[in-house]
Amino acid sequence: PARYFDTKTTEPISFFLSGLEELLAWQPNSDDEFNVSAVPLAKRQPPLQSRRPRTLVCHDMRGGYLEDRFIQGSATSDPYVFYHWRYIDIFVYFSHHTVTIPPVVWTNAAHRNSVPVLGTFITEWTDGEKLCEAFLAGGEEALGAVAEQLARIAQHYRFDGWLVNIENALSAAAVGNLPLFLRELTARVHSAVPGGLVIWYDSVLRDGTLKWQNELNDNNRIFFDACDGLFTNYNWKEEQLERTQRLAGPRQNDVYVGVDVFARGDVIGGGFDTDKSLRLIRQFSLSAAIFAPGWVYEHLGKENFLQNENRFWGLLAEYLPTHSICTLPLTTSFSLGMGTSTFLDGKDEESGPWYDLSAQDIQPLYPEHQGTLSTGCCLQDAWCGGSSLQLQGTIPPGEERVAVRLFSLQMPAPPKLYLTLLYKLEGPQPDDFTVALEVTTWDSGICFEGNPTSLPAEPNGRYYPRFLPAPPPSLAKLLAACHRGSHGWTSRCYELELQDCSLRDLSVIVSRQQPSPQETSFTCLLGEVRVLDTASVAASPPQVQGVTASQLWWQ
């Protein structure tokens, strides 16, 4: 069937639903199993519901369902990718189809990086009025059926909820039932999807007129009260933020103030000035909804997309509270889910473009320090997948080293950790530098390093894991990494024993071999980092039971 498979290639594709009939007729079937997310939503710290401003990204690009609709990837050159997951809290996939089911590749990539994904339920123009009249003015049974189907769809495809966008006027009967519909949908999504969310877009007012308010006020508050949050329109001024904060009270973090990166209409900021909008929004402790950050790709073009993308998010970073990883193992090759080649063990196995967001790895922080450090993505060389993480910077005169924070962590440290690192130094004198890992812990009087052979711990909780020339015999197979460097990559294996500690940061340290009065520039590629809890690594994995294969298609 054309809905589930591409007519040209026969490959499975992601899809949307059009109109009320398709929504109400929807049933799971065996053809859409490809569309079910295979990656559970990773835990994070602090949890999404904590009292701090959040960041929502609403992805709207040329109508949606572009190359990202190919569930098993495609040979696309220079595709759009998003990878600053550590800096955002919610990802919305937006299109103008009635029921936008997020392409599963996005759900997989976001979930791996602890970010929930929402689809969009939208009605617009005269067709939208008719559609709303049919299910909202029709009484509780009709609106209950729509709420139930939307909750079932999110549960079946394993994404996390809905943005509801009613962009048309409503009759008195329809708008009278709208708060009930939102409460019903929210309750059903919460019960069907753990951590599920329903967010309302600032559009229709309580009297049924379509008039964007650019704030939370008495005209739209009834909808905010019926669900998990409000996404405001984009043409706000500072006094509207102030009123919104006052009216939202303890729920100020549930108001997502809209920021259109394309800067359409009378807006503050946009483009590379988006930080101006965010600065104001955060002054009032409100959450932000960044709409169409694909501006970087669509407006500035594909050529220097990765550099421009890092610049865009780097300018916003100070206004984006990040979330930490709180489970082990942590293992990543930094792949973006795209490439110009496919690498395995440092070797270019297959030249040619590819794009598959499901294959995107856990993404790090991307720290930028003006003039001294930039973190980016390198497609020309990688250990595994399509890209490596490129660190470029300078060690200032008189200093010996520079630390690059890759991940913030928040979890109790197991008694013993193994860490592995694969890197490649580039530039004229790679032998002038050494590269190592550093682990920091949260300050606590009781935390100390439990290995008498290692260096005494510094008072600020910095630990340099002990270098292991060879892995212990029981782990030789898994930690073959200790001496598997090839194709110019250097491999390192470490061990760290801690007692009563809480992990805080994982950083890479680039040091000079010799002190120098000059500043020294370095370029280092990171191919892979792993942090493993020794106890769970040593345990044998459970046996896989009852494997079945379906949808076999020979070509």
The model's confidence at residue 273, banded by pLDDT at 50, 70 and 90, is very high
Burial of 188 by CB count in 10 Å (0-12 exposed, 13-18 middle, 19+ buried)?
buried
On the question of pLDDT at 460 being above 60, the answer is: no
> Among 177-191, 233-247, 342-356, 449-463, which stretch is predicted with the lowest mean pLDDT?
449-463
> Among 193-207, 350-364, 447-461, 493-507, which stretch is predicted with the lowest mean pLDDT?
447-461
pLDDT, tens digit, for every residue of 121-138? 999 999 999 999 999 998
More confident residue, 536 or 281: 281
Burial of 125 by CB count in 10 Å (0-12 exposed, 13-18 middle, 19+ buried)?
exposed
The model's confidence at residue 547, banded by pLDDT at 50, 70 and 90, is very high
Q: Is the peptide bond before 46 cis (omega within 30 degrees of 0)?
A: yes
Q: Are 474 and 538 in contact (CB under 8 A)?
A: yes
Helix axes 125-136, 140-157, angle to 10 degrees: 110
> Among 165-179, 220-234, 351-365, 459-473, which stretch is predicted with the lowest mean pLDDT?
459-473
Q: Is the peptide bond before 353 cis (omega within 30 degrees of 0)?
A: no
- The percent of residues in the chain predicted with pLDDT above 70, rounded, is 94
On the question of pLDDT at 113 being above 60, the answer is: yes
The model's confidence at residue 368, banded by pLDDT at 50, 70 and 90, is confident
Q: Are 375 and 310 in contact (CB under 8 A)?
A: yes
Q: pLDDT at position 451, please?
A: 55
More confident residue, 371 or 493: 493
On the question of pLDDT at 459 being above 60, the answer is: no
On the question of pLDDT at 311 being above 90, the answer is: yes
Domains and CATH numbers, the chain: 90-233 (3.20.20.80), 254-320 (no CATH), 330-538 (2.60.120.260)
The model's confidence at residue 250, banded by pLDDT at 50, 70 and 90, is very high
Q: pLDDT at position 235, please?
A: 96
On the question of pLDDT at 188 being above 90, the answer is: yes
Can you give the pTM of this predicted structure?
Answer: 0.95
Instruction: Report the candidate in 44, 532, 533 with the shortest Cα–Cα distance to residue 325.
Output: 44
